[in-house]
Amino acid sequence: MTDFAMQTSFHVHSPTCGCPAEARASGETDKRPRVVIVGAGFGGLSAARALAKANVRVTLVDRRNHHLFQPLLYQVATAGLSPSQIATPIRTILRRQENAEVLLGTVTGVDTERQHAVLASEHGGHRINYDYLVLATGARHSYFGRDEWEEFAPGLKSLEDAIELRKRILLAFERAELEQDEEARRRLLTFVVIGAGPTGVEMAGAIAELARRALASDFRSIDPRAARVLLVEAGPRTLATFPEELSAYTEKALTCLGVELMLTSKVTGIDAHGVTLDGARMIPSACVVWAAGVAASPVAKWLNVEADRAGRVSVQWDLSIPSHPDIFVIGDCALAKDKKSRPLPGLAPVAKQQGEHVGRLISKITRWRGVPRPVFRYKDYGALATIGRKIAIADFGKIKLRGLLGWLMWCLAHVYFLIGFRNRFSVAIDWAWSYLTFERGARLITGSVEAAQPAPIAGNVAERRAA
């Protein structure tokens, strides 16, 4: 970033800064339109990059300092990769983009009248003025109104979540090694994954492989291969968004890995003892993983507009919101529809393409006033899901892959889309190594370990959320 840009682009309003809010450029000499992007996930980052050559100032705000490659979070949770292999500092990514600045802060609201994004009080309650605002804050877990379950069944959305799950999974084996009581030991070695979408399938397959391969000969009192891994799903099949034949293949492959499938089973309770199904059956377990539901971040509340049941904001054909052509909502927090009026899925390619669209659109309308806004059309290139080592499925419409071929395609796609050469290289090497040796190199238990204390390892949800 040039000195000029550094000096002129950082101005944010604070309640005490004395700037009249309306005088947006007060104290600033840069007259270029300012595009504020909230969220540096797949959507926000691609919007920022698409604006690289535009005559605008880009301010990218995120509550974390890194962009996270969420599709590989389950590998961190199951000790296959370490956190730094799937996360990259946002400043590093945008280092060479001279019209962009990065701010670390949590946005808590939007003042649409004054055109301000408002930061949380712990970030000084600053207000960042915008000419165009792109909201790309993604989604979080949803426990369908049963938030008390989170303590016992964490989900997988951030690096903190993945590290916490890794700790719970590895600690369960450690505690079982110490445990004398057979029933308590069985409970420690029972892992329940709730939700058989792609994340649930990946988690269940990876825990089963960890137990049966990587840990198999590392313990003396227990046999890790005896661990039970249960995949619970309320619906009738796994991977409901994939064609039925690929679901059937997935179920067979999971069973071969030793995962017990519990389809058409509704979770009605989760506590320190385990999981209750259909109001009656209790499964004692010390390690439960939630992969069942997501809800959009509270963008609808900030904008004071209606949201669907998942909290997503209905956007127009150009991804702006009604009555506010200067505000765009993209990615997991947007409800955008395809040509047949079906809602677009919460997937990385959707967020990325939307980010690129909005970036190009802003670039165009800031160059030529009155130019018509293009319609957003999602290009679906297919879907992939992995089940375990050498087993994945890929759905490219007429072409469907499974087994080793699907897995190679899955590996290639994920390495290709990772950000940064170092991450791509190190992930490829790690995968090749564990392919040959079955080893999992990141088997680290971090944070406090209250030794000898039997599960549950409840942790502190408030602390994790705040982290």
Query: Binding string, 374-413, against ligand FAD, x = CB under 6 A?
Result: ----------------------------------------
46 by Cβ neighbours in 10 Å (0-12 / 13-18 / 19+) ranks as buried
303 is a contact residue toward ligand FAD (CB under 6 A): no
Query: Binding string, 153-172, against ligand FAD, x = CB under 6 A?
Result: ---xx---------------
**Is residue 129 within 8 Å of 115, Cβ to Cβ?**
yes
238 is a contact residue toward ligand FAD (CB under 6 A): no
Q: Give me 185's structure tokens.
A: 């030991």
When the beta carbons of 65 and 97 are compared against ligand FAD, the nearer one is 65
When the beta carbons of 136 and 409 are compared against ligand FAD, the nearer one is 136
Residue nearest to ligand FAD (CB): 41
Interacting span for ligand FAD (CB under 6 A) from 57-65, 231-239, 319-327, 426-434: 57-65
Would you tell me how many other CB atoms lie within 10 Å of the CB of residue 4? 11
Out of 202, 233, 251, 356, the active site residue is 202
When the beta carbons of 250 and 297 are compared against ligand FAD, the nearer one is 297
Judged by CB under 6 A, the chain residues 182 through 211 that form the site for ligand FAD are 198-199
301: amino acid identity, one letter: K
Q: Give me 179's structure tokens.
A: 């445990």
Output the smallest distance, CB 377 to ligand FAD, in A. 18
Interacting span for ligand FAD (CB under 6 A) from 20-28, 32-40, 93-101, 215-223: 32-40
Strands 281-284 and 274-277: antiparallel
What is the rounded CA–CA span in Å between residue 271 and residue 275? 7
Judged by CB under 6 A, the chain residues 242 through 301 that form the site for ligand FAD are 297
Output the smallest distance, CB 219 to ligand FAD, in A. 28
136 is a contact residue toward ligand FAD (CB under 6 A): yes
When the beta carbons of 248 and 348 are compared against ligand FAD, the nearer one is 348
Q: Give me 58's structure tokens.
A: 């880009």
Write b or e for each residue in 426-450: b if 16 or more Cβ atoms lie within 10 A of its Cβ, otherwise e. bbeebbeebeeeeebebbebeeeee
348 is a contact residue toward ligand FAD (CB under 6 A): yes
Output the smallest distance, CB 73 to ligand FAD, in A. 4
**Is residue 296 within 8 Å of 313, Cβ to Cβ?**
yes
When the beta carbons of 198 and 224 are compared against ligand FAD, the nearer one is 198
**Is residue 41 within 8 Å of 136, Cβ to Cβ?**
yes
Is 233 among the residues known to form the active site? no
- Which sign does the torsion angle of CA 44, 49, 54, 55 carry? positive
* Separation of CA 315 from chain center: 21
Write b or e for each residue in 160-183: b if 16 or more Cβ atoms lie within 10 A of its Cβ, otherwise e. bbbbbbbbbbbbbbebbeebeeee
Q: Which of 241, 159, 146, 147 is nearest to 200 (CA)?
A: 241
Interacting span for ligand FAD (CB under 6 A) from 176-184, 340-348, 370-378, 436-444: 340-348
Interface with ligand FAD: number of residues (CB under 6 A):
32
Binding interface with ligand FAD (CB under 6 A): 38-44, 61-64, 70-71, 73-74, 106-107, 136-138, 156-157, 198-199, 297, 331-332, 346-349, 351
Active-site residues, by number, are 202
